[in-house]
Each structure stands twice: as structure tokens, then as C-alpha cells.
Amino acid sequence: MIDSMSNEDRSRTFATLLKTSGENCGSVIKTYFQGFDTDRNAFWNVACNNSKSYVIMISNDSAGSTRILSCAALKAANSGECFNKF
């Protein structure tokens, strides 16, 4: 569903998600589909107009649950980097 949205709609959707989750993003200026893991959870990366960036995992469950992590924390944990395909 997210992948079929226009870039503008996808950016607005992620900006709203980040804001309601308490993350300070402002507006999303770039989205990037990073890929799926082995459980078919989808990973999207977003860049914000305030220089912050996040990875958003959309779970492969009936609710489409999400998890958010800053790209800086992802890199610091040696768990990969944003804006690179799996």
C-alpha cells in the first residue's frame, strides 16, 4: 500500500507517523524503500528537512504495526545503514 502511494502522499504519511510517535522530523523530504526481511517486514527510510533520518519497519501483521529507529542509532548499533538496499 505504501509503495503504491505518490511520493508526496508517502512523505506526508511518514511525517504524520513520526509526529504522532513523538519524533521531531518536520517534513519528510525523501523516502527510500530499503527492502524486506525474511519475515516480509518492510523497511522504509525517511530523511527529514531538519537533517534527521529514520528507518521505519512496517510489520507483516494484520495491523501493519510499526517500529521507528533513527538512522544514527541504527548505524551506532552496527546494524546497518539507511538508504542502502539490503
Asked whether the beta carbons of 56 and 20 are under 8 A apart, the reply is no
CA dihedral of 70, 72, 76, 81, whole degrees rounded to 10:
90
Task: Give the confidence band of 86 by pLDDT, cuts at 50, 70, 90.
Answer: confident
Single pTM value for the model: 0.93
Look up residue 52 and give its three cell numbers: 534527521
Does 50 reside within a domain? Answer: yes
Q: For residue 36, tell me if it sits in a domain.
A: yes
Residue 83 inside a domain? The answer is no
Residue 16 has a pLDDT of 97
Q: Is 86 a domain residue?
A: no
Quote the CA–CA distance of 32 and 9 in Å, as a whole number.
14
Nine-digit cell string for 77: 548499533
| pLDDT tens-digit map of 10-51 | 999 999 999 999 998 999 999 999 999 999 999 999 999 999
Q: Is residue 33 part of a domain?
A: yes
* 25 located within any domain: yes
Domain carrying residue 32: 2-76
Residue type, 18: L
